[in-house]
Amino acid sequence: MSEGILGKASKRRLAYGSAAASVIFFSSAGLAFLTQLLIARILGPESFGIYAYVLAWMSVLAYCAALGFQVALLRFASVYESKNAWSLLRGVIQYSERRAGIVGALVIVIGVTGLMIRGDTIAPELSTTFLIGFLLVPAWAFLWMRAATVRAFGGVVTALVPERIMRDGLLLAFVLFASLGLKWTLDASTVMAATLTSTTLALCMAHFAMRRLRPNTIETATAEYDVRAWRNAALPLLVVGAMDALFNRTGVLLLGWVGETKNAGIYGLAFSIAFLAVLPRTAIDTLLAPAVARLYAARQFAELQVLIVRAASWSLCAAASVALVLAVMAEYLLAWFGPEYVAGSNALRILLVGQVISASAGSQTHVLAMTGHERNSAAILVLSATANVIISFLMINQFGLTGAAYATTISIVLWNVAMAVFIRRRLDLWPGIYGIIR
**Segment of 80-89, 106-115, 286-295, 312-321 carrying the highest mean pLDDT:** 106-115
Res 54 pLDDT > 90: yes
Q: What is the mean pLDDT of residues 4-9?
A: 48
Q: What is the mean pLDDT of residues 289-311?
A: 75
What does the pLDDT read at residue 5? 41
Mean pLDDT lowest among 27-31, 175-179, 214-218, 399-403: 27-31
Q: What percent of the chain shows pLDDT beyond 70? A: 91
How many CB atoms sit inside 10 A of residue 2's CB? 7
What does the pLDDT read at residue 326? 93
Compute the distance between CA of residue 142 and CA of residue 104 in angstroms, rounded to an integer: 9
Identify whether the C-beta of residue 367 lies closer than 8 Å to the C-beta of residue 308. Answer: yes
What does the pLDDT read at residue 232? 84
Would you say the C-alpha torsion 403, 408, 409, 413 has a positive or negative sign? Answer: positive
Identify whether the C-beta of residue 270 lies closer than 8 Å to the C-beta of residue 251. Answer: no
Res 20 pLDDT > 70: no
Mean pLDDT lowest among 55-69, 313-327, 365-379: 365-379
Q: Mind spelling out the 3-state secondary structure of the chain? A: CCCHHHHHHHHHHHHHHHHHHHHHHHHHHHHHHHHHHHHHHHHHHHHHHHHHHHHHHHHHHHHHHHCCHHHHHHHHHHHHHHCCCHHHHHHHHHHHHHHHHHHHHHHHHHHHHHHHHCHHHCCHHHHHHHHHHHHHHHHHHHHHHHHHHHHHCCCHHHHHHHHHHHHHHHHHHHHHHHHHHCCCCCCHHHHHHHHHHHHHHHHHHHHHHHHHHCCCHHHHCCCCCCHHHHHHHHHHHHHHHHHHHHHHHHHHHHHHHCCCHHHHHHHHHHHHHHHHHHHHHHHHHHHHHHHHHHHHHCCCHHHHHHHHHHHHHHHHHHHHHHHHHHHHCHHHHHHHHCHHHHHHHHHHHHHHHHHHHHHHCCCHHHHHHHCCCHHHHHHHHHHHHHHHHHHHHHHHHHHCHHHHHHHHHHHHHHHHHHHHHHHHHHHCCCCHHHHHHC
User: What size, in residues, is the chain?
Assistant: 438
Compute the distance between CA of residue 337 and CA of residue 352 in angstroms, rounded to an integer: 19
Would you say the C-alpha torsion 128, 130, 134, 136 has a positive or negative sign? Answer: positive
Amino acid at 146: R
What does the pLDDT read at residue 202? 93
What does the pLDDT read at residue 275? 83
Confidence of residue 1 (pLDDT cuts 50, 70, 90): very low
pLDDT in tens, 223-233: 888 888 888 88
What does the pLDDT read at residue 2? 42
Res 207 pLDDT > 80: yes
Compute the distance between CA of residue 279 and CA of residue 190 in angstroms, rounded to an integer: 28
Q: What is the mean pLDDT of residues 195-218?
A: 88
Identify whether the C-beta of residue 284 lies closer than 8 Å to the C-beta of residue 333. Answer: no
Provide the domain limits for residue 177.
4-437
Res 136 pLDDT > 90: yes
What does the pLDDT read at residue 166? 86
Mean per-residue pLDDT of the chain: 84
Q: What is the mean pLDDT of residues 51-79?
A: 89
Q: What is the mean pLDDT of residues 353-370?
A: 83
Q: What is the mean pLDDT of residues 76-97?
A: 84
Minimal CA–CA distance to 412: which of 305, 271, 264?
A: 271
Confidence of residue 134 (pLDDT cuts 50, 70, 90): very high
Confidence of residue 437 (pLDDT cuts 50, 70, 90): low
What residues contact 182, with CB distance under 8 A and at least 6 apart? none
Q: What is the mean pLDDT of residues 110-136?
A: 89
Confidence of residue 348 (pLDDT cuts 50, 70, 90): very high
Please count the structural domains in the chain.
1
Compute the distance between CA of residue 71 and CA of residue 381 in angstroms, rounded to an integer: 16
